[in-house]
């Protein structure tokens, strides 16, 4: 069995309202963390992101024992829930949302994840980056075919153009799942975050702040400070949100 600590950060940034949403749920065996970044104009993004989090967590609660293996399908169900809530002539008419979800089985020491859009999951082992998700974005596609260098992704002028997100026709939706049941261990750390955070912090920033932090909350405080410094003098900078999960040995 693994012990867990979760911390959450969600900031409006320089925008008039926060279109990010995040939440978590746990049972005697599983923990689910979900983060979403909405879009749609006129406030519709905040509706979409909250709906994504609520719908996905509800779906996980309904099938906790097999939710990991079915996570990509649950994300697709969440996409349909957003489509079903659209109403022509209202602020929800064209709402979309990214989503990233992590499921942890802390009895069997396994983790599963899935995402749509450019909200990311980072997995750290021994305080070093082990892997992360790849964005469903135009620029990520250019990186994959060698037309753009990976280092240019954060500052590319078209970095916000998504190839997939919730609120897309089912036959056009791209959902990426992790490699299945991943073996996790005490000391592992996960970070789920929206693009408002990762666009302003590189992998070295994440590792340096993680190595110096004593708690997941302290880590997110350090990340907040770095994003605030990076966006100083930039009016209208994006909302930024993150969820940190640290795994450790239980103190019995």
pLDDT above 90 (res 43) = no
Comparing 60 with 146, the larger pLDDT belongs to 60
pLDDT at 41: 59
For the chain, give the number of residues: 252
Read off the CATH number of the domain in which 19 is found.
Answer: 3.60.40.10
Comparing 120 with 67, the larger pLDDT belongs to 120
- Domain extent, residue 46, equals 3-248
Residues in Cβ contact with 187 at an 8 Å cutoff, skipping those fewer than 6 apart = 125, 126, 247, 248
Q: Which stretches does DSSP call E strand in 79-119?
A: 96-105, 110-116
User: What tens digit of pLDDT does each residue of 69-108 get?
Assistant: 899 999 999 999 999 998 887 877 889 999 999 999 999 9
Q: How many domains does the chain have?
A: 1
pLDDT at 252: 61
What whole-number distance in Å separates Cα of residue 162 and Cα of residue 115? 13
What would the mean pLDDT of 3-24 be, rounded to a whole number? 92
CB atoms within 10 A of CB 159: 19
Q: Of 1, 33, 3, 39, nearest to 18 (Cα)?
A: 39
What would the mean pLDDT of 198-218 be, rounded to a whole number? 96
pTM as predicted: 0.94
Comparing 250 with 4, the larger pLDDT belongs to 4
pLDDT at 250: 82
User: What tens digit of pLDDT does each residue of 153-175 get?
Assistant: 777 777 778 988 999 999 999 99
């Amino acid at each position: 069995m693994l012990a867990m600590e979760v911390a959450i950060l969600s900031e409006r940034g320089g925008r008039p309202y926060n279109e990010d949403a995040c939440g978590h749920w746990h049972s005697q065996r599983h923990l689910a963390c979900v983060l979403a970044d909405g879009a749609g104009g006129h406030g519709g993004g905040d509706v979409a992101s909250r709906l994504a989090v609520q719908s996905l967590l509800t779906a996980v609660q309904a099938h906790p024992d097999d939710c990991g293996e079915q996570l990509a399908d649950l994300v697709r169900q969440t996409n349909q829930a957003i489509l079903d809530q659209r109403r022509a002539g209202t602020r929800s008419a064209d709402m979309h949302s990214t989503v990233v979800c992590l499921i942890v089985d802390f009895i069997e020491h396994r983790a599963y994840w899935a995402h749509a859009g450019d909200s990311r999951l980072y997995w750290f082992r021994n305080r070093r980056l082990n892997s992360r998700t790849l964005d469903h974005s135009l620029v990520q596609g250019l990186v994959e075919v060698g037309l753009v260098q990976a280092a240019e992704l954060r500052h590319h002028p078209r970095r916000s153009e998504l190839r997939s997100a919730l609120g897309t026709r089912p036959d056009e939706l791209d959902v990426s799942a992790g490699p299945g049941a991943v073996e996790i261990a005490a000391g592992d750390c996960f970070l789920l975050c929206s693009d408002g955070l990762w666009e302003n912090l590189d992998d070295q920033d994440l590792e340096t702040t993680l190595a110096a932090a004593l708690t997941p909350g302290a880590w997110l405080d350090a990340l907040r400070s770095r994003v605030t410094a990076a966006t100083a003098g930039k009016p209208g900078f994006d909302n930024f949100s993150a969820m940190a999960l640290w795994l450790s040995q239980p103190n019995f």
